[in-house]
Chain A
Amino acid sequence: MREFDPVKRRTRLSVALALVPVLALTLGIPLANRVEPRIAGLPFLLAYIVCWIILTPAFLLAVYRNDNRA
């Protein structure tokens, strides 16, 4: 019944959450490698990277909450 081990499931969720920004800022880069559309004056590639940097603390906070769930 390993599938239903709550600790393991929680760890797996944490890793999955953390992987989202990791993949966005590595494998996502070739897909975002464009100038248009420009966002707030920034070329798309730079805006894409900045967006993910702002989102990363939100994902890590979700991981933190998940890890500390009673």
Chain B
Amino acid sequence: MNAIIAIGVIAVVLAATLGLGIFGVRRIKMDAEQYIVGGRSFGALFLWLLLAGEIYTSFTFLGAAGWAYGRGAPAFYILCYGTLAYILSYFMLPPIWRLSQRHNFLTGPDFFVHQYDSPRLGALVALVGFIFLIPYATLQLTGVQVLLTIAGYGAINSLAAVAIAFTLIAVFVFGTGLRGAAWASTVKDAMVLIGVVFAGIVLPVRFFGSPAGAIDHVLAAKPHWMTLTGDASANGVVWFVSTVALTALGFYMWPQSLAAVYSAKNEDTLRRNAIALPVYQLMLLLVYFAGFTALLVLPGLKGPAADQSFMLVVKQYYSPWILGFIAAAGCLAGLVPASVQILAAASIVSKNVLSDTFGIAKTSAERTRATRILVLVVAVLAFAFWALARTTLVGLLLIAYNGITQLFPGVALSFAPRRPSAAGVAAGILCGIAALAAFAMTGTSVVGGVNVGVVALAFNAAVAIVTGYAIPALKPRVPTADSSTR
């Protein structure tokens, strides 16, 4: 009976949100541009919703609480990196947006194609985006699976839950484009806010009188939980600062984030968003309180199980109606971003690799079909990754960020007075990713306390600069006298 109520609540909420997503796009004729960049007419509020919709995901809802539960202070990095990314975005996004309008960029990699005059570099960037969106999609899939398993009160095992999650993601991707996702985001954000207030305020008040009371109890039991270790170990203070820097640089490298930037109405919209978005980060504070409360009420969850932390508390102490509502909010936090991410992964490969580089799927209809097939490919790969790599949600996000941040040197160097060659930038990206692969195979996560992603990024930038300026572009290039007008 409990399972029927909780799952029933989830089903009603998801159906209603999907309906709203479809209704939001119905009256607009959908061509590729509408589908991917929403017709380039998003004002400040709508864009804010879309950007927030992609940022506040299963990771925020479950992953941040899971790390607060499992590791303590290292989880605070999540508060810092978003804030730094918005500061960077204030300066970086307006010039990217101006280029996108002048040259009709459709996908994230189109930026590289134009800046380096190289469709092949665009194809490489698209493949990097595709590969590292898979762990990100896996994160969302895992989040939905965890919630369905809990809401099933034992009636749904994890494999059945992941199969349902997989189906739901496919329904969301095919049901809504970018504009639909922005509408669905409004429902999602309202519900997640209610869920987070419940988990971050109502739970600690019930058990410890106040959120500060929960912190008192954690400090009494674990005096070092709220500070970082000062040494060079994994998750120490050096790791913290390097991870904040790495993930802040990678934040807007995601193809779906760049596509969202292109969809802005004007550059002032982007600046005002950058000013307002840091405030949204504060919701994470409540998520930490939820994780700390769960640590005291239900101790002993190990590894990826920590991601279930506060949901298990809700399940044990509250009615299935409340569990169903919060799980529904969490499912939306997974499904809406997953649909945007999977759509982005599929569309960059169909446009920048198949169409622009190999000349397959040239017409709009063919490209739409290729995108649909690729959506299923991404979803299957995300499913495979779920089956193979059982790690925490934060662990999945860090894998994704280590990879995507390797695109940052190419973006930054493209604004230099003299640009390096496309071959140099490509060599940098490949070396950075090879370094990441070597670290992954040896199980290294920090070098002298520094996140290996930063080491790979430094290697990448060094290779890009040395080979990029030493090896000239293969085609003769127009000198960049016109760089300010391009």
Q: Which residues of A contact B (CB under 8 A)?
A: 15, 18, 21-22, 25-27, 29-30, 33-35, 38, 40-43, 45-46, 49-50, 52-54, 56-57, 59-61, 63-64, 67
Contact = CB atoms under 8 A, between A and B. Distances in A.
Contact of B219 (A18, A21, A29, A35): A35
Nearest to A52: B83
Interface string B258-287: 000000000000011011101101100100
Given A18-B90, A41-B215, A64-B271, A25 B210 contact: no
A53 B73 contact: no
Interface residues of B, number: 38
Nearest to A34: B227
A40 B83 CA distance: 22
A18 B89 CA distance: 11
B241 A26 contact: yes
Contact of B212 (A18, A41, A56): A41
B274 A60 contact: yes
Contact of A60 (B80, B211, B275): B275
B226 interface: yes
B139 interface: no
Q: Across chains A and B, which 8 residue pairs bring their CB atoms closest together, nearest first?
A: A41-B212, A43-B226, A60-B275, A56-B278, A25-B80, A30-B237, A53-B83, A49-B79
Contacts of B245: 26
B166 interface: no
B415 to A, nearest CB: 14
Contact of B241 (A15, A29, A40, A60): A29
Contact of B90 (A26, A42, A60): A60
B207 interface: no
Contact of A27 (B91, B241, B279, B281): B241
13 contacts: A18-B91, A21-B87, A30-B230, A33-B227, A34-B227, A35-B219, A42-B212, A52-B83, A56-B86, A56-B87, A59-B87, A61-B275, A64-B271
